[in-house]
């Protein structure tokens, strides 16, 4: 999400956020979520409201998902 100089990235898989000041560091090399909590909270709320307004489909965890065990043979017909 962009808002003026700020860019917010939400990683849904682990519910983590990254905040960048594109006016001062366009390269996105200095993450500011902890240093700018007021900006982070404002953008998080804005993102949440927007996703609700557009009735966005949200990722959900699959409690039944199991990774394949290491070393499992792969059927080349399935690749």
pLDDT over threshold 90, residue 12: no
53 SS3 class: helix
In a domain, 38, yes or no: yes
Contact present, 31 and 45 (Cβ < 8 Å): no
Domains contained in the chain, number: 1
In a domain, 78, yes or no: no
Q: Report whether pLDDT(30) > 80.
A: yes
Q: Is residue 61 part of a domain?
A: no
* pLDDT band at residue 5 using 50, 70 and 90 as cut-offs: very high
Which pTM value belongs to this model?
A: 0.69
Residue 7 sits in a domain whose CATH number is: 3.30.1120.10
Distance CA(53)–CA(57), nearest Å, equals 11
Residue-range definition of the domain harbouring residue 43 = 2-53
Predicted confidence (pLDDT) at residue 23 exceeds the cutoff of 80: yes
Region 43-70 average pLDDT: 87
* 1: nearest Cα among 40, 35, 37, 38: 40
């Amino acid at each position: 999400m962009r808002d003026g100089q700020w860019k917010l990235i939400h990683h849904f898989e682990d519910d983590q956020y990254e905040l960048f000041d594109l006016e001062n560091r366009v390269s996105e090399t200095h993450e500011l979520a902890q240093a700018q909590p007021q900006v982070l909270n404002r953008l998080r709320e804005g993102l949440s409201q927007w996703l609700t307004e557009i009735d966005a489909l949200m990722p959900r965890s699959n409690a039944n998902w199991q990774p394949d065990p290491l070393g499992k043979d792969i059927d080349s017909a399935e690749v």
